[in-house]
Amino acid sequence: MHLDDYVVQVHDQLTAAAALGDERTQQIAHTVAAAATSAVRLAIMSALAAAADEITAALLDSPGAPSVAVRLDGDAVRVDVVSGDPQPAAARVDEGDASARISLRLPESLKADVEAAAGHDGVSVNTWLMRAAGAALSPGRSGPGWGDSASRRGRGAHHITGWING
């Protein structure tokens, strides 16, 4: 996506507003509009990066969801959609040797969420918790849980790299 059309729109609006003034005002407005080109490009890029972060955050609830990133490529903005890691197969847990016991205290809201997830998967809460623990501890996982938003979004929210030539 080329930003030139959007930058020209801002330039034209400034020029049109300055047309109400005298010749000196029009010259100043033209100079300011030309000088603001880089700032306008950066503002557009920042808005696109924020939108990409919001889209990625909205998609994080879906297993294997893609992430969206915005980058500069010369004078153009490129929107990259990167496929998410597919949901790993649940680790196989030997349920035949389930003799170890653990007491787990959960807040009521989390307990309700666990029960709902187990019901959605058609398994008992115990089986769901065993699978969740097995998947969280399986090789290739960086930590507990699924969908680490920091790893999907890259280095952080609203991260912009590149150089704007104006």
Question: Which of 61, 80, 65 has the alpha carbon at shortest distance from 162?
Answer: 80
Entry pTM: 0.47
| Block mean pLDDT (10 aa), the chain, length 166 | 88 89 91 89 87 81 75 80 62 61 84 88 85 75 42 44 50
The whole-angstrom separation of Cα 11 and Cα 100 is: 70
Q: Tell me, what amino acid is at 108?
A: E
Residues 6 or more apart whose CB falls under 8 angstroms from that of 4 comprise 75
Task: Supply the pLDDT for residue 24.
Answer: 93
In angstroms, how far apart are the furthest CA atoms of the chain? 88
